[in-house]
Amino acid sequence: MKLLEERIQRDGKVFEGNVLKVDSFLNHQIDAPFIRELGREWKRLFEGEEITKILTIEASGIGIACIAALEFDVPVVFAKKTKTVNISDDVYKSQVESFTHKTVYDIIVSKEFLTSDDKILIIDDFLANGKALEGLIDLCEAAGAEVKGIGIAVEKAYQPGGDLIRSRGYRVESLARVQSMTVGGGVEFAD
């Protein structure tokens, strides 16, 4: 999506350690009117798919997912990150390995809000190693919910997550696919 690529070129900042900061419009400050355009693009891409709910993960996925949900006219449910050991029977749980923070954390979603009737669009801000996405897919599988598609804002196409998830048969629509980036230099996009 040209609009997002241009915004990343303009406002994204590349740091050592494979870090692309887009926190001026995507995940600390959120440019809501701009994000609405992303939501409209996902709506266009997934036109014809029956979606009953958007699933995302806290914290940075929530804003994007809620804005996109208005385009789809559906509710959002967000998976919560937790270190709580005692997980009650009324939640589905999965584990996610964080490369950034070198930790493993649990994600949970209430069984009440993810069911076998749901046709899910997963939305998240970043896709790199795909671990968070795998966790969200796990939750859907546990609930018997059908994953109709996955909408990502920024995919790091040089990392394995996108290929991994697509090879499992899921449709992943990333609005910007970063091919390479250089500290102090620019960002290049795939396709």
Residues that bind its own copies (CB under 8 A): 23-25, 28-33, 35-36, 58-59, 62-67, 69-70, 73-78, 80, 109-110, 112-113
Query: Nearer Cβ to its own copies, position 111 or 158?
Result: 111
Cβ distance to its own copies smaller for residue 9 or 29: 29
Question: Got the DSSP string for 160-187?
Answer: THHHHHHHTT--EEEEEEEEEE-TTS-E
Question: Which residues neighbour 125 within 8 Å (Cβ) at sequence distance 6 or greater?
Answer: 26, 27, 60, 61, 64, 152, 153, 154
Residues 18 and 85 sit within 8 Å (Cβ to Cβ) = no
* In the complex, minimum distance from the CB of residue 137 to its own copies, in angstroms, rounded to a whole number: 19
Nearer to its own copies, 70 or 179 (CB): 70
Q: Tokens at residue 85, please? A: 């050991």
**Shortest reach from residue 29's CB to its own copies, in Å:** 4
Task: Indicate the residue among 55 and 137 with the shorter CB distance to its own copies.
Answer: 55
- As measured in angstroms, the least distance from the Cβ of 90 to its own copies is 11
Rama region for 68: left / alpha / beta (φ>0; ψ in -120 to 50; rest): alpha
